[in-house]
Every structure is written in structure tokens, then in C-alpha cells.
Chain A
């Protein structure tokens, strides 16, 4: 005997939606602060429509079927939006799982005559919703990852300011770990600023860099070389004792780079290069 699950579900659409909404509303973790009930109902209705429209008796046990592409897309959309709005994974998961409950409740009445039929129907529904839940989780995590990536980008952007400390002298304090991507940003910012300000000296202060390994040193050397190609001099300052030791132990040759202990001494050196002098004024305070 053929079980016409799809058709039964289509007929009971209204009832399923009601059950689903009830299930969602009675859950304590419902986030009314993030999404109003009307919005939730609209979203649920739309999702249910998509599901029932693409569902037929052939593809019911095959969630990978291409019939569900638009449904998956819709679920991904919901999931990503929820990740951005700040829903927790549990809340997002419950949203889908409460649909299963509603589907089973609706089907139960029609198939309760035969235990075997009920079993088959239940299994198929569980499988179907599990497939949907898997998609939800995957895209939810992806949505969260996107948020993290964007924040990382922002941090990179704001953590590399180029400061004009004097006419013709730029300072670039680096705080945090240097990796290839960050060095690239640092280098680009520095070079662009050199052109924009017409500066001839750049001071790279690494007192905020927690550790220097051979890769970081390589990046620093690259930055210095690039600055030289532009026609400016680059000084590295703020090398802490431990870092100096590591650099020497690693056998990195920094001998053709000007290094200074502090930003102050680097600035003094820069003044000397520009033939500037800072003198104590003999005049009384203004």
C-alpha cells in the first residue's frame, strides 16, 4: 500500500503550522526580544510552504535530491540571519526540531491505525527534519564564522595606524602578532602613507609584538626593503631583550637594518638624519 504522506501533509498544512507555532511559543527559550511572533509566524509559514511544495512521495526519503535546493537555500538564509541577530545554536536548532514534532503530531492521527505504517512515516519524517537540521547547523556556523572574519578584518584595519610624528617622519606602532596577512596590510598602509606625506623616514615600533619567529622577522625585513625601494629609510625600534635573543638564536641577520631600543632613540636618530636638532630653550616658560 502506498502511503500518501506528501498529500496528507499538504492537506494538513494549516494544522501543522498551528502546531508548530504552538510548539515554538511554549518553549521557554523563545527570543521575543530578537524576533516578534508575527515575524516568526511569517517565516515559519514561508518555510513550511517551501517544504510542502518541494516534497513528494518519491523524494521524501532523499533529502539530497535537487528538488530541495530552494528549500535548503531558504533554510540557509534563515540560519545565517539568525546567527547574525545573535540567536544561540540551541535556539536555532529548536526552531527546526519543533517542526518535526508538529509534523509527527499531525500525521499521527491519520496513521494510528497501523503500527507499521506509523513507524515508516515517523522514520521518514525524522530523517527529513534531521537533514534540514544538518543544513541549519552548517550554515549557522558559517554565519558565525563570517562574523568572526569580519571582526578580524576590522581589528587588522584599526590596529595598524600610521602616525606622522614629525614633518617627514612616520611612526608605525605594531601591536599584536604579526602574520603574513597583517604584514601585507601594514606594508601597504605604510607605503601609501609614505607617498601621501612625502616622508623619508619610517619608524617601525615592535614593542607591542609578543614574539618574533623567523617568519615574523622575514616579514619585517620585507617591509624594510620595500620602504627602501620607495626611497625612504626604515628604522625598527622597541626590540625587547627576549626578542633580540630569539632573533640571534634563530640566526636571522638584521645587520643591514637600523635597529634602536626605544621609539625615543629611533626618533633621535631620525632627527639626526634630517639634520634637525632639539634644544632646551633658554627662554622662560611662555
Chain B
């Protein structure tokens, strides 16, 4: 069965979606990713959807779910490279992906994740 590879980069997990997502693939991705977060203790998840040109309400929900679940597992989620058409579709569907961070490209996404984790790690010291 098709699976989307999840790459580990230090504290982060990197997912690049290169194919059109169908429902089963998306569901698998969600469960795989959660398993990986728990197994590796990753602090951040970066999902690159720049090759994704079609999105529906189900896909939007899956992305939102991944964000929420990762949050509970103490990992931040960043979605990068969203196409304009996809963004407009999601907004028209009323999905604002709350709890998921967004960035323009992978580079900015990585930077954002690093900042987030730095802030979190420095917080206890300040108290």
C-alpha cells in the first residue's frame, strides 16, 4: 500500500506530499505521523504541500487534525508552501486551520519551528 515517507531531521519530522492525496492515504499519513511523533519524541512537524493542487474538506480536516494531535503530543506543526488556490478553497470551506502554523516555504518553515522551540525552551529559565 502507498505510504507517504516521513523523514526525520534532528528534532523535526519532515513530510513532503508529492502526489495527489486520496482519503485513505491522508488517513494513513495522520496515523503514521502521530506514531512517529511519539516514537521519536519530535518537537516539530513540517508538512510541505507545495505540490498539492486540489484540496477538499476532508483533506483540510486531516491537516487540522494532524496539527491538533501533534500539539497534544507537544510538537508544533507548520504547513508550508500552500498554493493560492488551495488557500482560497480552504477559506471558502470555512477551514482556517487553527492551531497549525503556516509559512511560505520550507526554509521559512524551519526557521519558524526553530524559533518556536527556542521560545518554549527558554521560557522555564525566565520564570
Which A residues lie at the B interface, using CB under 8 A?
184, 187-188, 191-192, 194-195, 198-200, 222, 225-232
Contacts and interface: CB of A to CB of B under 8 A. Distances in A.
A188 B103 CA distance: 18
Contacts of B90: 226, 229
Interface string B92-107: 1000110001111100
Contacts of B83: 195
Nearest to B84: A191
Contacts of A228: 96, 102
A135 to B, nearest CB: 41
B82 interface: yes
A231 B102 contact: yes
Contacts of A187: 88
Contact of B108 (A184, A227, A229, A231): A231
B91 interface: yes
B75 interface: no
Nearest to B50: A195
B29 interface: no
B92 to A, nearest CB: 8
B37 interface: no
B91 to A, nearest CB: 5
A188 B83 CA distance: 10
B87 A198 contact: no
A192 B85 CA distance: 9
B82 A194 contact: no
A229 B91 contact: yes
B44 interface: no
Contacts, number: 55
A231 B103 contact: yes
11 contacts: A188-B84, A191-B87, A198-B104, A225-B91, A226-B90, A229-B82, A229-B86, A230-B82, A231-B102, A231-B103, A232-B104
Interface centre among B82, B83, B104 (most CB of A within 10 A): B104
B80 interface: yes
A195 B102 CA distance: 13
A198 B80 CA distance: 12
B104 A194 contact: yes
A207 to B, nearest CB: 24
Contacts of A195: 83-84, 104
Given A226-B90, A230-B104, 8 more contacts: A194-B104, A195-B83, A200-B104, A229-B97, A230-B84, A231-B104, A231-B105, A231-B109
B108 A200 contact: yes
A166 to B, nearest CB: 16
B101 to A, nearest CB: 8
A159 B105 CA distance: 29
Interface string B64-87: 000000000000000110111011
Interface centre among A194, A227, A231 (most CB of B within 10 A): A231
A232 B104 CA distance: 7
A43 to B, nearest CB: 46
